[in-house]
Amino acid sequence: MSNPKAAMLVIGDEILSGRTRDANMFHLAGELTKHGIDLCEVRIVSDDATAIEQAVKALSAANDHVFTSGGIGPTHDDITADCIARAFGKHIDVRADARALLEAHYQATGLELNEARLRMARIPDDAVLIENPVSTAPGFTLENVHVMAGVPSVFRAMVASVLPTLTGGAPLLSQTLRVNRGEGDIASTLSTLAEDFADLSIGCYPFQKDGVFGANVVVRGTDGARIDAAVTRLARELEL
């Protein structure tokens, strides 16, 4: 059986403007690979309610899991929770369990749980809270959508909270073969290899370093023996 499919939705004007470099996709991809869930698509949308809702609906329908990043903080432009609720036709308001977490946190830190901070306790009906051991304010899972913060340290903590609850498949394995030849010189060999090992993913990525041109051929799959066989054959055919 094939691995579960996942998509990621990155939300925020600051990403699209170039002001902030997204680090969460890189982290999520690595964690999902280890868990046996295939990340098949990543979308980035602005802080626009219609764009968020449409993207969530489309990605949720096409994948087993959707992971969102960004837009669940205390400010006016943090609209992700409301958009997720509308996408699934759910009521949203301050929820007692989320409020209790924030009350305990802010009491311990001596800060006021003001109206802005209380926005982070607005959770859609029927959603399951995602633990946040970094800053307490929870994310949530609704249907097959896991809604998480954009701050990288908090996002990583939430991913660690969610993944153990998900059923994965076979972890994706890979081997890399460095070839000091141009892509045009090895393209036909790679095409034949890809046909004969159709169960594997074979990618070719050119490089230039210290005046040397070449390519890294990456062979990916879930069967280690098949990967070994493909890499061994490629090395033999290229006389490496």
- Of 133, 165, 197, which closes a domain? 165
Do 120 and 60 belong to one domain? yes
Quote the pLDDT of residue 213.
87
Q: What is the mean pLDDT of the chain?
A: 95
Model confidence at 79: pLDDT above 60 = yes
Element (H, E) at 17: none
Under the banding of pLDDT at 50, 70 and 90, the label for residue 208 is confident
Quote the pLDDT of residue 125.
97
Q: Are 205 and 173 in contact (CB under 8 A)?
A: no
- Of 141, 165, 189, which closes a domain? 165
Model confidence at 60: pLDDT above 70 = yes
Model confidence at 1: pLDDT above 80 = no
Number of domains into which the chain is organized: 2
Under the banding of pLDDT at 50, 70 and 90, the label for residue 89 is very high
Do 142 and 28 belong to one domain? yes
Q: Average pLDDT for residues 146-170, to the nearest whole number? A: 95
Do 156 and 230 belong to one domain? no
Do 101 and 151 belong to one domain? yes
Q: What are phi and psi of 67, to 5 degrees?
A: -115, 125
How does pLDDT run across 90-134, given as a tens digit for each residue? 999 999 999 999 999 999 999 999 999 999 999 999 999 999 999
148: nearest Cα among 132, 166, 172: 132
Q: How far is CA 107 from CA 57, 119, 132, in A?
A: 38, 17, 17
Share of the chain above pLDDT 70, in %: 100
